[in-house]
Structure 1
Amino acid sequence: MSNFGDGIPFKNVEFALRIALVKAEMEKREIDALLISEPSNICYLTGYEAWSFYVFQMLVVHRDLEEPVWIGRFMDAVSVRRMTYLSDQSIRPYSDDYVQSVDRDPVDFLVSQLREFCPTLRAVGVETGSFYYSGHTHVRLLSLLPDVQLKDAELLINWIRIRKSSVEIEVMREAGVIADAMIKEAVDAAEPSMRECDLAAVLYRRMISGTSEIGGVYTSSAPYVLSGTRAGEPHAPWSDRIIGTDVPVNIETAGCRRRYHSPISRTIFLGKPSDAYLKLADAVTEGIEAALEVVKPGVTCAEVEFAWRETVARHGFHKEARLGYSIGIGFPPTWGERTASLRASDLTVIDEGMAFHMMPGLWLDNTGVTITQSFVVTARGREDLTKFPRKLIVK
């Protein structure tokens, strides 16, 4: 059993390397302080993963300070102390009267702290595209820091964390074990008289309980369980409809361990699939195998996507959406890293340590097939993070 279950997930040297990489990029961009609002990036640099991102919080990295500084709600400081290596002087909580208040603004508290502990404050980087960096925050910072240049640092950290260390890969392997257990349990439980919501409950139970050796946690996205004609919808919520007979059931979910995700999707067909549906499933499975064979350091995302596109085209199919995306740490609403995508226009060169969810789902009108693979790039090819067979499951 690993030691990732509780407390600080990695040794300090792991976090020190990550901080050094971020500071080096800040130096290139001439940024004194970096304001980090994206929970995935806060977790990457500190190990902090508590559910406090629904209120204002920020991690500040200054190029002249050894430690980052966490700023957030007072009641969450206790979790910061338990989950991270940060010293007390690097934990700056604000009082509860700043929370969703009409009288006090936590951005004001942030700025007062910046002026107190930052040795220099000429240029400040902000994550303009983060789901958690609001227009209000940006306007307020412009007002309170008229003498400071605000620079766009969107995805600065995301592109650094796209390459996983050996200990990160170990955690993602554990997430993959949980993902496999979830799919296996769903396959065993699925039956025509079952409601979609009950099958979702099976997934949730295994998602949280994990295995006897490793426990799981909530994922960044709810599972997708879509049956029958709804199998043509990629992202709709499950319902309380009865699944029925001679229908596909598309499942997309993930195993999660210390916020690291290993996603997986499979299609269960309850009954006898038609010849047309088997042709669709065969195209997907042949296409994903062809694309996976291309994966290795030095090829581009576009080259991987082309192998898929060329293969399914021979079967008469075309997928407009991207084939996949980089994965790692995730908080709601996504487990994607928002960096590289497996698509025709993405010329990102794949490198050892990058991890992807290859998602060759085909949704056609009122049906669909989803058979996917999460993997990490190795020195010579790839390592699959989930092991469940890549095929249509007929039951």
Structure 2
Amino acid sequence: MPAGCAPFSQAEYDRRIAKTRAAMAEAGLDAVFVTDPSNQAWLTGYDGWSFYVHQGVILRMEGEPVWWGRSMDALGGQRTCWMAAENIHGYSDHYIQSTVYHPMQDLAEHFARMGLASARIGVEMENYYYSAKAHAVLTEELPNATLVDATALVNWQRLVKSEEEIGFIRKAARISEKVVTTALERAAPGVRKNDLVADIFHAGITGVDDIWGDYPAIVPLTPSGLDATAAHLTWNGDEMRAGEATFFELSGCYRRYHAPLCRTVFLGTPSDEMRRAEAAQMEG
């Protein structure tokens, strides 16, 4: 079994690494630097709320992946990743929010030590967690390397789920059922939206039986009335009202795996227009 507390079997991680390396070979890459937190977790098991600083996974064509990030988070890497401790690396805090130093300077040194100073390295260019500044510094620090856009290279390998992953999604689905049932049962005129969301969070985190709930990738979206015509609104302290519809976009989460559901509740007697909309949705 993997070291630390990685959630999957070693065979599952070996399968993922092999798929990714096949895609790397097809793209002519010697290594990839993966910054998307979901891709990091998929390859290594790493799971920490640390993606506000620079971190990532280096995968070469041979050997274990290398997790790289802030020194204090490297301890979390040892607790959650399946790799050996020597493949968990942390950089000093003097790189954090500095105008003089940048974490990519440290990363470039790692690439050089790995014999990748002149390699073709894939990076996730279209990614929230790989900034323009990071790319500029890494390019400057590795003048003989070729940095290639490898956005979504790992994501495509994640598309078809394994049996182990499907098992996790089924657990997340049981939590989702509880979350949505809680939202529908407790929605009523006079209930403050923030109180309802608190119940939704409680249902999702407590989970079902021995299936504990994790924090989902998105907060509960619960717009009511005209607010429901705007995408991605969260909640406020207003009371729910009779004659008003509320759109719920919710998901349970188990070990980072989700099973999202969307439902609409109408407090009162729906109008003919609402009924027609329901019929169109059901037909779709």
User: For this structure pair, what is the TM-score category when the shorter chain's length is used for normalisation?
Assistant: over 0.9
What's the counterpart of residue 258 of structure 2? 261
- How far did residue 265 of structure 1 move? 0.8
1:276 aligns to 2:252 (yes or no): no
2:36 aligned with 1:38: yes
C-alpha displacement at 1:11, in angstroms?
0.7
What per-residue deviation string (whole Å, max 9, x for no partner) do you get for residues 197-255 of structure 1? Answer: 22111111111111222111111111111112222223112121111101111100111
**TM-score of the superposed pair, with normalisation by structure 1:** 0.69
Q: Indicate the residue corresponding to 1:47 in structure 2.
A: 45
- Are 2:63 and 1:66 aligned? yes
Aligned-partner SS, 1:268: strand
> Do structure 1's residue 201 and structure 2's residue 183 form an aligned pair?
no
1:111 is matched with: 108
Tell me by how many angstroms 1:32 deviates.
0.7
Q: What does residue range 75-90 of structure 1 map to in structure 2 within 5 Å?
A: 75-90=72-87
How large is the RMSD of aligned CA atoms in angstroms? Answer: 1.3
1:62–1:118 Cα contact (<8 Å) kept: no
**2 CA distance for matches of 1:101 and 1:210?**
41
Q: Which amino acid counterpart does residue 23 of structure 1 have in structure 2?
A: R
TM-score normalized by the length of structure 2: 0.96
**Residue range with higher mean Cα deviation, 97-106 or 141-150:** 97-106
Match of 1:180 in 2: 177
* 1:165 alignment partner, one of 162, 166, 170: 162
- Report the equivalent of 1:148: 145
CA contact (8 A) 2:45 2:80 kept: yes
| 1:267 match: secondary structure | strand
| Paired residue type of 2:164 | V
Query: Would the aligned equivalents of 2:126 and 2:151 in 1 still touch at CA under 8 Å?
Result: yes
- 1:119 and 1:199 mapped to 2: Cα distance? 52
Aligned letter for 2:5? G
User: Deviating runs (4+, > 6 A) in structure 1?
Assistant: none
Conserved? CA contact 1:228–1:243, under 8 Å: no
Alignment match, 1:366: none
The residue type equivalent to 1:29 in the other structure is A
Distance 2:92 2:143 in 1: 26
Say which of 229, 232, 235 aligns to 1:232.
Answer: 229
Q: Distance in 1 between matches of 2:216 and 2:195?
A: 18
* CA distance in 1: counterparts of 2:117 and 2:60, whole angstroms: 8
CA contact (8 A) 1:245 1:271 kept: yes
Tell me the residue number matched to 1:302: none
- Residue 223 of structure 2: SS of its match in structure 1? strand
- CA–CA distance in 1 between the matches of 2:44 and 2:91? 19
1:70-125 CA-partner distances (Å, limit 9, x unpaired): 11111112221121111122111111222212332110000001111236742111
Aligned partners of 1:24 and 1:241: how far apart in 2?
A: 53
Q: Contact (CA 8 Å) 1:32, 1:121: kept in 2 or not? A: no
Question: Would you say 1:189 and 2:186 are equivalent positions?
Answer: yes
The 2-side partners of 1:202 and 1:265 are apart by: 17
Aligned residue identity for 1:28: E
Separation in structure 2 between the aligned mates of residue 286 and residue 220 of structure 1, nearest angstrom: 29
One-letter identity of the residue aligned with 2:211: I
Counterpart of 1:151 in 2: which secondary structure?
strand
Aligned equivalents of 2:262, 2:192: Cα separation in 1: 19
- Residue 9 of structure 1 corresponds to 7
Counterparts of 1:281 and 1:198, CA distance in 2: 27
Unaligned runs of 5+ in 1: 1-5, 288-395
Q: CA deviation at 1:41?
A: 0.4
Deviates more, 1:160-169 or 1:20-29: 20-29
Q: Which runs of 5+ in 2 are unaligned?
A: none
